Amino acid sequence: MQAIVQSAYGAPETVLTHRTVARPEPKPDEVLVRVHASSLNFADVAMVTGRPSLIRAAMGLRRPRYTVPGRDLAGVVEAVGADVTDLAAGDEVYAEASAGSWAQYVAVRAKLVGRKPVNLSFAEAATLPLAAGTALDCVAGVRPGQKVLVNGASGGVGSFAVQAAKALGAEVTGVCSGRNVELVTNLGADHVVDYQRSDFTSGSTRYDLIIDLVGNRSLAAYRRALAPRGTLHLSGGGGGRVIGPMARLAQALVVNPFVSQRLRPVFATPSRAKLDRLRELAEAGSLTPAIERTYPLSDAPEAVRRLIAEHARGKTVLTVAQER
């Protein structure tokens, strides 16, 4: 099969190549999916570059343990492992794999595979698992009428967080650069703050929930913008080349017991239940992927290079040509 193979950590144009490799065999609890599309996430950039370095503790110290990168996917079940009874060949599915989705086929644990929303194309469905799944965790507990602010509203996670918070009845403020104000407005945000013109942490509005996807403000500044019993969900972003956002997340955990506000890191984990909830929201018209660009699989190195060089705007998709 055709796949993107990663030889080492580094610049995408250096370490990623488009090659022919052996098709994976599904283990008893896995399904083999014929991939139609994948999407790029900040996590993929970290896996390709090996930055922040802390990621290597999980992914392989000197070189990546996996051969083929890529997490998100949408496609059609080709075969199922001996223990899989609830999925069958021909099912249209989507999933977040631990790696391997930048390929024509990937084997994924069946319990992490969900049925694709019927109203979305494969390319659209492939944008959901990691980014919209994280957004879902970030809006957990939101009640109608609450004021929610999304810092990084125009990115992969942020574009879904705005929509997910709106679906829960919140009054949503999105923070983005001037070029993305129209995009974030179209996603449904009630208010948009252009961070190049004003700083939401020095305004008079107090938010019930701040979802931080950028990590560019101090904890004290976020707390200033929070209601006295408000919640800060920190999902990542910021930090140095070695430990990334971990110092900020640890600081939030240390300060949390001593303040009236709740300061919580969000570590999203994939599950079929989450994919089922995302499917419901997508089919109800509450989650619409904002796709910025689509590349063929062979152009994955350029797609990753561009994501590093420029700010993301919604989601970048890789489409996978099928074998004839």
Positions touching ligand NAP (CB under 6 A) are 41-43, 130-131, 134, 151-152, 154-158, 175-177, 180, 195, 213-214, 216, 235-237, 266-268, 311-313
Nearer of residues 37 and 77 to ligand NAP, judged by Cβ: 37
How many angstroms separate the most distant Cα atoms in the chain? 62
Dist. CA 23–CA 32, nearest whole Å: 9
Q: At its nearest, how many Å lie between ligand NAP and the CB of residue 247?
A: 14
Alpha helices in 23-120 (DSSP H): 42-49, 55-59
**In this chain, which residue has its C-beta nearest to ligand NAP?**
155
Nearer of residues 87 and 252 to ligand NAP, judged by Cβ: 252
Dig out the tokens for 18 from the structure. 């488009």
Cβ count within 10 A of residue 102: 30
Please enumerate in sequence order all residues whose Cβ is within 8 A of that of 251, keeping only pairs 6 or more positions apart, or say none. Answer: 219
Give the angle 86-89-276 at the CA atoms, nearest 5°. Answer: 45
Q: At its nearest, how many Å lie between ligand NAP and the CB of residue 42?
A: 4
Nearer of residues 84 and 290 to ligand NAP, judged by Cβ: 290
Q: At its nearest, how many Å lie between ligand NAP and the CB of residue 184?
A: 8
Are the C-beta atoms of residues 19 and 50 closer than 8 Å to each other? no
In sequence order, what DSSP letters do the residues of 102-158 get, joined into one string?
Answer: SBSEEEEEGGGEEEPPTTS-HHHHTTSHHHHHHHHHHTTT--TT-EEEEETTTSHHH
Nearer of residues 195 and 295 to ligand NAP, judged by Cβ: 195
Q: How many helices (H) and strands (E) does the chain have?
A: 11, 15
Q: At its nearest, how many Å lie between ligand NAP and the CB of residue 16?
A: 18
Q: At its nearest, how many Å lie between ligand NAP and the CB of residue 50?
A: 14
Q: At its nearest, how many Å lie between ligand NAP and the CB of residue 321?
A: 25
In 3D, which of 97, 78, 95, 67 has the Cα closest to residue 4?
67
Q: At its nearest, how many Å lie between ligand NAP and the CB of residue 237?
A: 3
Nearer of residues 16 and 181 to ligand NAP, judged by Cβ: 181
